[in-house]
Structure formats: C-alpha cells, structure tokens
Structure 1
Amino acid sequence: MKIQSFNIKKIAKYCAEEVFRANTDAPGFVYLDLGKNLSSYKLREIMVNLKKELSNFTVNKYDKKLSYHWLVRFDQQVNTPFHIDNAADESFLMLGYEPSDISSELYIADFHKFANDNDISPKNYLRNFTPIFKEEALLIPFITKIESFCKNTYKIVLINNSKPKPEAKTLGVFHKAQIVSQDLKKSRIVNSMIINMLPKNKIIENEPDENKFLKTDTISK
C-alpha cells in the first residue's frame, strides 16, 4: 500500500483490520510504502506514532496495551528461515526499512491456514509448534511474497508475531527475509520494533527507551 498522506489514525485503522486478526480472512501483515521524501528520523517518528495509535485500539478492543519489547536499528544482510521472533505470546513486529542499494525480499507464511487446511488439531499443533519452521515445502500454498518491495523508498511492514496459544486474541504469521544481492560494502538499515500486547495495568520494567530510538544514530551489526 502506497501512502499518499500521513493520517496516522487512518493508517492505524487499516493496520488493525489487516494485522490484529481473529481469523485467516485477514492476512496478518501490512506493507506501507512511504515514498522517498522522508528521513530516518521521520520514519522512526511515524513508527512510534503508529504504535501509540494502535495501543489506543488494543486498549479499547482488548483492554490491553502495547508496550515495547525491543527498539533497535541494525544493518543486516542475512537470510532467515520462516520464523516468529521471541517475544510475548501476543506481539507484533514493526520493521522500518530505509532506502538501500541492497535488493531484498520479504515473505509471509500463514501457519494458521497451514494447520487448518491440513486438519491439524489445535491441541496437536500447539504441542508441536516451533518458532522456526524448517520444512518450507509444506508452507508453499500459504506463502505470500510482499510485492513491489522497492529498495529506493522508506517502508514499514507490520506483522502479527503472536504465538498460537488458546488464549490469544489475534493470529500470528511467520516471516522470512531473503537477500537478493549481498554487498557488505553497502548498508541495509532496518529499524526494528517489537511490541507486546499486555494487560493495561501491568507494570513494565526496563522497557526500551523510545526517545533514544527516535534520536539515535547508532546502528547495530
């Protein structure tokens, strides 16, 4: 989805409908192309504002808030398998991509559709679930490649990273990164935010520093 104007409430509403899903009719992720006329700082500001607006949504709908699990900027050119990131049972991954000469691809796999279509009972699926899925051939009918992943623009991808737990209000998906042309002399900077959905009265200790994330020039390798 290309964003023509930054109405954060409208963007958050779209994200909530597509990502905070209770069934597999919604994809469990969104891709937002923000164009070229931004900066790294503005991209991170949009990410933080989107998180805050989504937290308003989760408080109203689920009586739960969104809190930071991690906030980091990294320069990475590594392929990954299909996986979910280590976080709370209900969590969401927001990736903010900066323009780069490095071509990369992002894939989503719907493990709930996989389980449903293969008649795997919820009990057995939960017992055997692993956060890294190595038998990729089994997932092929349930894989979506994010199209038009332009390397010259600023982008946000929001992914439902939730584990398949009986008490989960929303359904997660796997994600996988693929580097098309690696060049370690160049940078591929990704701003990564994981947000946990937790009881709104829960006290969060050692929550990552939002202000530091907004202002930092530090990039992890």
Structure 2
Amino acid sequence: MHFREAWAEMAQVIFRQVLRTDLDRPGFAHFRLGRTGEAAQFYELLRRLGTELAVRYARDFARELTLFEQGSFDQQVSTHPHRDGAPDESLLLLGYEPTTVSSRVFALDYTRAALDRGLSPREFLDVFNPLTLAGQTILEPYRLEVDFRPEEFQILAFNNGAVSWDRRHTGMLGVLHQADILRPDPAAARRIHSLILAHPD
C-alpha cells in the first residue's frame, strides 16, 4: 500500500478495531507498509492519519481529541507492559522505520483482565503492577503477539485508554503494549515516531 493512499483505509480499520466500547474488538491495529519508502513521507502519513482520526472521533463520538507529536527515538531496550503517559482517554500511534534490530511486540488487554476481577483498569494497575513479575504473570493470558516485521515500515495503533466500564461510550477501553528487543545493535537504529491523540482533562 502506497503511503499517500494508505491513511483513509487505515483510519477505518482503527475505528473498527481500536476505539472500542466493548471487548469484542482487540484494542489495537497493525499495518505493514513494505520495505521501501521515504522516512519523511512515512511520518507525514502518520500525522495525516492522526489528524483524520481526530476528525472522525469528533464526528462519531461527539468528543474532542487533540493531536500531540511526541517526537522520534531509537528504542533498543525491552519494555515491560505499559500504557504511555497520557490522559485516560487517549490513543497512541507508533510509526516504525525498517531496521535490522530484531524485536517482538505485544498487546495486553488489561481492561479485560480488570473486569474479570471486578476492578476498574486504574484499580487493576494499582493492585497488579505490570512492572512486577506478579503483575506480568496475571497479564500473561491476556497477552497477544503482534505479527511484527522489523524490516518493514509499520504503524501500530494502541487504545491507550484507562477508563472504567461506565465510561465505555468514549471508546477508550485500553490495552497495554510491550516490546522485547532480541538483539540490540549499537551500529543500527530502531527508529520510532510517536503521536498521542488525547481528550483534554
């Protein structure tokens, strides 16, 4: 799929899979865009996608999302399951440039894990801290590996929400995400572009 033609179709998929008012949807979406392309055009696609999502969210949910560009970084350190620091109503867009650095990426449905235990998502994170082994053990049945291909341009959209079930009408029933860097390489780069769409607190 060519970068310039991709954003509208991707926005539709994100609305179907990521912005969820129930747990029948995964809460994340993954797009593989091939091995060839220009980094500048790729980032412009990511920005255009974010802008389109904000417009569609206002139309369909009658609520505002503001786009924040978080910058780019070279990530070669594994992460624990986490949600990015942002308001409880937020969506995370990550754009990955091709790299030789091997890695795996996971989504973890902590909202489902919380509801299974009669907790809100915030309460779940307090009781079962995902930075600890105990928290990760609880989350293991809710972890799904993304079909991540480091050698390609890719976009991952994660529902970064932390709303309780009674606020599910916002579409922000969130998931956590996690990266496992298999072989760091100081001679290479694993470049990620990060955008957040967030509802003002």
- Structure 1: where are the runs of 5+ without partners? 200-221
* SS of residue matched to 1:129: helix
Report how far residue 152 of structure 1 moved. Answer: 1.5
Counterpart in the other structure of 1:172: 174
**2:96 and 2:193 in contact (8 A); partners too:** yes
Report how far residue 10 of structure 1 moved. Answer: 2.1
Counterpart in the other structure of 1:138: 138
In 1, the alpha carbon distance for the partners of 2:167 and 2:88 equals 9
Report how far residue 132 of structure 1 moved. Answer: 5.3
Alignment pair present for 1:42 and 2:44: no
Report how far residue 53 of structure 1 moved. Answer: 1.2
* SS of residue matched to 1:31: strand
Report how far residue 128 of structure 1 moved. Answer: 4.8
Counterpart in the other structure of 2:17: 18
- Structure 2: where are the runs of 5+ without partners? none
Report how far residue 137 of structure 1 moved. Answer: 1.0
1:1-221 counterparts in 2 under 5 A?
3=1, 6-117=5-116, 119-122=117-120, 126-130=122-126, 133=130, 134=132, 135-147=135-147, 149-165=148-164, 166-167=166-167, 169=170, 170-198=172-200
**1:90 and 1:163 in contact (8 A); partners too:** yes
Amino acid aligned to 1:178: D
* SS of residue matched to 2:167: coil
In 1, the alpha carbon distance for the partners of 2:146 and 2:151 equals 15
In 1, the alpha carbon distance for the partners of 2:153 and 2:21 equals 29
Report how far residue 65 of structure 1 moved. Answer: 2.7
Report how far residue 15 of structure 1 moved. Answer: 0.8
Q: Aligned residue pairs: how many?
A: 193
In 1, the alpha carbon distance for the partners of 2:56 and 2:129 equals 29
**1:83 and 1:132 in contact (8 A); partners too:** no
Compared with structure 1, are the counterparts of its residues 7 and 40 closer, same or farther at alpha carbon in structure 2 (3 Å cutoff)? closer
Amino acid aligned to 1:153: E
Structure number with the higher helix fraction is 2
**2:114 and 2:124 in contact (8 A); partners too:** no
* SS of residue matched to 1:21: coil
In 1, the alpha carbon distance for the partners of 2:124 and 2:119 equals 11
In 2, the alpha carbon distance for the partners of 1:35 and 1:110 equals 28
TM-score (norm 2): 0.88
